[in-house]
Amino acid sequence: MFKGSYVALVTPMLPNGRVDVTSLKRLVEFHIDNGTHGIVAVGTTGESATLPFKEHIDVVKLIIEFVDKKIPVMAGSGANSTSEAIFLSEQMCGLGVDGFLSVVPYYNKPQQAGMVAHFNAIADATDIPLMLYNVPGRTVADMLPETVAELSKHKNIVGIKDATGDLSRLEQTKSLVAEDFLFFSGDDDSGCNFMCQGGDGVISVTANIVPKAMASMCEAALQGDVQLSQQLNNQIIELHRILFVEPNPVMPKWALYKMGLIDDAFLRLPMVLPELNSQKAIEETLSALNLI
């Protein structure tokens, strides 16, 4: 089920801080119309850290409603408290989600054995497929290949989003797990090479801005056309870089606002709007790509 370009969808908000439902629907329709293969709802790019549980669940529910089964929806369900991650998963399992994405616990810095216990407990709580998410640049703790291999034995743990940017991890971990275990890149900058070396997809921030280009790049890689995949990626390579000059999702929200796809670039504190030089840089990139 899970293959190709999955957008790590932003959660649009109004200046009063409330979720902008109209813009959210517009974004979902934008992705369906432009070939995005799946949506990750309220992951870290969706500002999950500042959405209370009820709001988190409500946004996932809205996205599932707007998608209307046209493409898969994976819901962010991670937390640095195992009991909270289980609670969130249980609350969303009746919404019609196709999978969960659960991040390595942040701040706690759990041991590898702690990660195994954490994710096995979450996977035990529902029958919905669970994808692990390793992003040590955000969480500090790094889930090692041997830990992934141990977790892959659980029937509900189906893959990993690897945002280390270390392509050697892909080959190393692949050698330790079953052939049907899924590998998604969580690093847009190296996502094309990741797929060309055997990855199954990209959970992408860049896809928020250029969904058709990301989908086409992924499709070419999945078909084994490395040259075409790299050609398509080269067209948006500057976008991969510029979207991360400030902490995600500051820049993608500003880009979507300038493109007219969301009504405001509001972010919840402690995130704020990009610096003026960052605004100018992203606007120049969008203009060069004929997006504004």
Give the residue ranges of the annotated binding site for pyruvate. Answer: 45, 203
- Of 6, 69, 70, 133, which one is the catalytic site residue? 133
Which of these, 120, 129, 141, lies nearest to 184 by C-alpha position? Answer: 129
Give the C-alpha separation, 40 to 10, whole Å: 9
Tokens of 132: 């692990």
Instruction: Enumerate the known binding-site residues.
Output: 45, 203
Tell me the CA distances in angstroms from 192 to 43, 101, 138, 141, one per residue in order.
21, 21, 22, 25
Annotation says 161 is catalytic: yes
Annotation says 257 is catalytic: no
Which of these, 235, 216, 206, 184, lies nearest to 7 by C-alpha position? Answer: 206
Tell me the CA distances in angstroms from 231 to 40, 140, 182, 226, 262, one per residue in order.
26, 34, 25, 9, 29
Tokens of 15: 């200046």
Tokens of 273: 């709007």
- Of 6, 106, 161, 253, which one is the catalytic site residue? 161
Give the C-alpha separation, 164 to 125, whole Å: 27
Dihedrals phi, psi of 250, to nearest 5 degrees: -60, -50
Give the C-alpha separation, 164 to 94, whole Å: 32
Dihedrals phi, psi of 148, to nearest 5 degrees: -60, -45
- Given a contact cutoff of 8 angstroms between Cβ atoms, the answer to whether 24 and 62 are in contact is yes
182 DSSP assignment: E
- Given a contact cutoff of 8 angstroms between Cβ atoms, the answer to whether 148 and 132 are in contact is yes
Q: Give the catalytic positions in this structure.
A: 133, 161
